[in-house]
Amino acid sequence: MSDLIDILACPDCLGTLAATADGVECTSCGHPYPDAGGYLDLGPAARGPNGGLGMFMLQDPLHVPRYERHTRISFLQIMGDNWENALTPEAEDDYLRAHLSLADVPLLDLACGAGRWTRTLVDHLGLDRVVGLDLSVPMIETIRAGVPGVRVVRGTALRLPFATGSLGGVNCSNALQLLPEPRNVLREVGRCLRPGGVFTAFTYRRSDRPTYRHFQRQQEETFGVRSFTTTELVSWLTAAGLDLVDLRSPAGMLLLTARRTA
In a domain, 21, yes or no: no
pLDDT in tens, 37-69: 999 999 997 554 455 554 545 555 655 566 666
> What is the pTM assigned to this prediction?
0.91
**27: in domain:** no
- In 11-63, which residue ranges form alpha helices assigned H by DSSP? 53-59
Is residue 133 scored above 70 in pLDDT?
yes
Inside any domain, residue 26: no
Q: Is residue 89 part of a domain?
A: yes
- Is 3 a domain residue? no
CA distance 260 to 197: 5
Q: Which of 102, 135, 129, 97 is nearest to 257 (CA)?
A: 97
The pLDDT score that the predictor gives to residue 171 is 98
Judged against a pLDDT cut of 60, whether residue 105 lies above it is answered with: yes
Number of domains forming the structure of the chain: 1
Tell whether 188 is covered by a domain.
yes
CATH of the domain at 177: 3.40.50.150
pLDDT of residue 126: 97
Could you tell me if residue 193 is inside a domain?
Answer: yes
Q: CA-to-CA distance for 159 and 44, rounded, in angstroms? A: 10
Closest by CA position to 260, among listed 198, 182, 216: 198
Domain housing 190: 38-260
Q: Are strands 40-41 and 107-110 parallel, antiparallel or unpaired?
A: unpaired
The three-state secondary structure class of 148 is coil
CA distance 225 to 178: 5
Q: 5 in a domain, yes or no?
A: no
